[in-house]
Structure 1
Amino acid sequence: MPRYSIDGIDLDIPLHCLNDNLKQQLQNEHYEWKEVNGLKRHLKKGDRVLDLGGGAGYIAIQAARIAGAGNVATVEASAEMVQAIGRNLVLNHAEAVRVLHGAVVPDDFSGGSVEFDVKPAFWSSAIAVGPRKGAAQRIKVPALRLSDLLHAFEPNLVIMDVEGAERDLARQDWPLMVQLVIMEIHPQTYPPAGIQEIFDGMSKAGFAYMPWGSRGNLVVFQRLPGKGMGC
């Protein structure tokens, strides 16, 4: 199994979960660099972090370094990558991070499971939309509603890379405990109107665009004082 070292963090990732582009990003230590910059800009010791779209566990481990492993929870839909996260947490002495298996859905999602497309490169896997494409394997995974996760873990910072699902998550209410949302948006999966929906939804929920830490498709939203719903 290949091992990569990025910013002092060791990651073991199954070979069949990688493609050439992802391998290059890992080898060059460019993997998730925008998310890490956003975290390091805003995260403080003792903060509580919910990481949506855990991947190989890299972001959760970065968060654990700053906030403390016991203050971090990560959610990943691929069962194989959940196992990889577990191994990487042990490898990097961050075993106290909590790991949940499932895909994050909005509160109005009606089922207990959701179809998920597992793609050859783990970072492209996503909740299924439309007919299955290419080499993706379509499976069913537990559906985890956003509000249930927020109330279970009470994070003040949420970071997400959910391959397009952010469009639905941005349109619902966010409790006041969440003060910062670091979100990777995916304009290749929805039209410009979808980006506007995200910004409109987060504004309605009491957040404003935060330029510090935002870069390209990595967007930071900060809670406005006195804005939003209660816990």
Structure 2
Amino acid sequence: MPDGHIYELNGVRLPHDDAIITPQVAAALTRGNYERPEVLATPMFLDPEDRVLELGAGIGYISSYIAKVIGVAHVTCVEANPKLAEYIRRAHDMQGLSNTTVKNCVAVSGNADLSPEKEMNFYIREPFWSSSLDPGRDPVSVERISQEVLSDLIKDAGATAMIVDIEGGERDIFRDADLGSVRKIYVELHTRYIRARGIKACFDALSAQGFYYDQRVSHGGVVLFRKL
């Protein structure tokens, strides 16, 4: 697909970029089924007054959709991959959005031991969705990315809802976190990375803070937690 090509699906327009849009992603965008389950689910739990904190924003499709089509009050996107963060800003500009913020950083749990320089290694892989904090699995490059504590991100964003897709980071991110104003958390569980103990750790951490599993919106490995 040549640069300059525009994908259009579900009211969102995305620019082609050979460095970002892999053939697999391009095919899904062209068919109109890229992240389709998530797009179908978000109107079931997000409201126009919501302020959303998205961890692992990818190519900015979901954030563009909820900001433009659902019309949430604000979306703060946290994306560790600097190339993706730049692409997300371009995607948001293409929609003409003024209710989004993009932060190129890594969200860490409340009990994280921050390095003195407040940076950490982020391992870039192909395809982009395999990038993570895990040093294994053959990274193609390593970036030093700034760290921000989750509770601080929530407070700064005034978040009432979260969307989380962070390649295994969901195991620990909610541990000892002050979730403050958040009432809804939509999490993709990466079972192949965190295994059964990691899933339990995620559920336990959220249950301890008064969140329950909402089966009406959850599907497969993507789970909605609501505050009691």
TM-score for both structures, normalised by structure 2: 0.90
CA deviations over 1:159-216 (Å, ceiling 9, x no partner) = 1111111111132334341100001110011221111111111101110000122111
- What is the identity, as a one-letter code, of the residue corresponding to 2:169? A
User: 1:183 maps to which residue?
Assistant: 187
**CA shift for structure 1 position 13:** 4.2
Paired residue for 1:37? 40
Per-residue deviation at 1:54? 1.3
CA deviation digits over 1:23-49, x for unaligned, max 9?
Answer: 332222222222222211111112111
Shift of 1:135: 4.9
Deviation, 1:103, is: 1.4
In the TM superposition, 1:77-156 aligns within 5 A as 77-109=80-112, 110-111=114-115, 112-127=118-133, 129-131=134-136, 133-156=137-160
Q: Would you say the 8 A contact 1:10–1:88 is kept in 2?
A: yes
Query: Which stretch of the first structure deviates more once superposed, 89-98 or 152-161?
Result: 89-98
Residue 26, structure 1, aligned to residue 32, structure 2? no
Residue aligned with 2:192, SS = coil
Task: Report the number of matched residues.
Answer: 222
Q: Distance in 1 between matches of 2:39 and 2:179?
A: 24
1:51 corresponds to which residue?
Answer: 54
Return 5+ residue gaps in structure 2 as ranges: none
Give the drift of 1:6. Answer: 1.9
Partners of 1:95 and 1:88 lie apart in 2 by: 12
Aligned position for 2:164:
160
- Structure 2 distance, partners of 1:196, 1:205, is 14
Cα offset, 1:60, TM superposition? 1.1
Residue aligned with 2:194, SS: coil
Q: Please list every run of 5 or more consecutive structure 1 residues that lacks an aligned counterpart in the other structure.
A: 225-231
Q: SS at the partner of 2:191?
A: coil
Give SS of 1:15's match. Answer: coil
Residue of 188, 201, 207 corresponding to 1:203:
207
